[in-house]
Structure 1
Amino acid sequence: MTLTGTLDIKRLNKSFEHEGEAKLVLSEIGFEVKQGEFVTIIGPSGCGKSTLLKVIAGLDRGDSGSVRLSGSEIQSPSQDKGFIFQEHRLFPWLTVEQNIAADLSLKNKEVRQKVDEMIELVRLKGFEKSYPKQLSGGMSQRVAIARTLLRNPQVLLLDEPFGALDAFTRAHMQESLLEIWRQNHTTMLLVTHDIDEAVFLSNRIIVMDARPGTIKATISIDLPYPRNRIGASFQELRTIVLKALEHHPEEVNGGWEI
């Protein structure tokens, strides 16, 4: 029996047409994300990380292989797969609470209660009536996360959600995301270029190689939360991830599973 929120990818291949020729972007991708797990995908630009996330979201289709959520094949977008982009994509004419509710009516008592809960969860109490132009980048991204979590997705897909933020705000948002994850127990799959971010957040890190995108290594991050970014164990794991990105898997602690 497959648990709700479990993501299972087997032998996924994806190509794009380029100058009349099919170019393989993803090759034989396979991994599982367990219910409630936080997994990060990291790799160089052009390795297909965002393409992979779009296939998982149902926004694109693979050429072969399977992508399943809770045991069911993913064929199209749906509310059981939340997607957070690098840009917050809020409606500028709507307030914070209206953006979180989106197509749901705040006049509905149950919706109103859930929106209030989300505002508390992402720590935006007091900003309910504010418009996006009145918010910082980090606050706007928290609104986007709250809007997605309101729909109670089985898995939350995050494509470089903090890439446009300054270093201080980014660190704060990473801590906020961890708090949300620990409270909600939502399965999370994050794409990033940031090694520190990957080690700070994840239970596991999947390292990808480019042209075509393949899985190079899978690294378990067994540090307890909250994590000390300047601690020796953190820095050791950071070095392992860096080596996995720079070298072949067999050069990193003997390989595929670290």
Structure 2
Amino acid sequence: MGDFLSIQEVGKTFVSNEGHTRVLEHVNLEMAKGEFISIIGPSGCGKSTLLKIVAGLDTDIEGRVLLEGQLVDRPSKTRGFIFQEHRLFPWLTVEENIAADLSLADAQVKQKVNELIRLVKLEGFQRSYPKELSGGMSQRVAIARSLLRNPKVLLLDEPFGALDAFTRTHMQDALLDIWRHNETTMLFVTHDIDEAVFLATRIVVLEPRPGRIKGVLHVDLPYPRDRLSPSFQELRQLVLRTLNNDYKEEECWSI
């Protein structure tokens, strides 16, 4: 599919006083530039761990990850990470949170921050504090902050999981707008099948722990996607059958 991001034979075992826990095993995935991949699987199958490995936050692994041919062995501004919780600094305003450790006194930083505020549709809230924002607005700030340094890959770990259904749907639309505008490669973890089908160009289904890739489904539906359409529902059912081992391998396997 592409060698922009290459995950090669990645495995991970956690060691504790209680023993060894095998979390990931023989994970291989090739990702093209500008692609949007959703990762779905049962709890504990290593989805979040895989994101941390791609981010360079966990390097005690088997196998390797390459980004444009370069080994991922540490965190880098080339990879942005968005958590389920927005993790904003409560004492900073929206624009200060987006700028993070960069100074708004720098004209170029200020211009970029203003562009991102427009992109995530938070005009008028530049000087608001996190306590004055809704959950969806706070996640927009987190997304804007992650885009400030123009990452090549944006890693999203269930970023909308804590939001109500209405806000979650709205944020999915907003994320697609950002993806199309910035052409940023997205790797998105979710437990929500509808969310995966609505967003992704491909869906990676992981097995229960230790997480292995069970199948990769291409989502050829045009954007914007109609959740009620027969083709959407057919794909949704295929993801569900893959998760439940009720599928034919040729229906979904493709890497």
TM tier, smaller: over 0.9
Aligned to 1:229: 227
* Cα distance per residue 1:16-65 (max 9 Å; x no partner): 11445322210000001110000000000010000111011011024321
2:69 corresponds in structure 1 to 71
Q: Distance in 2 between matches of 1:121 and 1:91?
A: 21
What's the RMSD between the two structures over aligned residues? 1.5
Q: Are the counterparts in 2 of residues 84 and 161 from structure 1 also a CA contact under 8 Å?
A: yes
Cα gap change, 1:254 to 1:125, in 2 (>3 Å):
closer
Deviates more, 1:80-89 or 1:10-19: 10-19
| Superimposed CA distance per residue, residues 182-219 of structure 1 (whole angstroms, 9 cap, x where no aligned partner) | 00000000000000000000000000001211000000
CA distance in structure 2 between the aligned counterparts of 1:47 and 1:132, rounded to whole angstroms: 33
1:167 maps to amino acid: A
Unaligned runs of 5+ in 1: none
Matched residues in 2 for 1:164 and 1:196: separation? 16
Q: Distance in 2 between matches of 1:180 and 1:84?
A: 14
Equivalent position SS for 2:238: helix
SS for the counterpart of 1:133 is: helix
Consecutive unaligned residues in structure 2, runs of 5 or more: none
Is the counterpart of residue 146 in structure 1 residue 144 in structure 2? yes
Matches of 1:135 and 1:23, distance apart in 2: 39
Secondary structure of the corresponding residue to residue 189 of structure 1: strand
Q: Deviations over 1:106-132 (max 9, x none)?
A: 111111110000000000001101000
Deviation at 1:162, TM superposition (A): 0.2
| Structure 1 length-normalised TM | 0.95
Distance 2:39 2:219 in 1: 13
**1:161 matches 2:166:** no
The answer for the alignment partner of 2:253 in structure 1 is: 256
Contact 1:13 1:62 (8 Å CA) reproduced: no
- 3-state SS of 1:222 partner: coil
d(CA) in 1 for partners of 2:178 and 2:36? 12
Q: Deviations over 1:128-163 (max 9, x none)?
A: 010000000000000000011011100000000000
Question: What is the match of residue 205 of structure 2?
Answer: 207
- SS of corresponding position for 1:205: strand
Percent same amino acid among aligned pairs?
A: 62
**Count of aligned pairs between the two proteins:** 254
Partner-residue secondary structure (3-state), 2:57? coil
2:63 corresponds to 1:82: no
**Residues 80, 151 of structure 2: 8 Å contact kept:** yes
- What residue number does 2:188 align with? 190
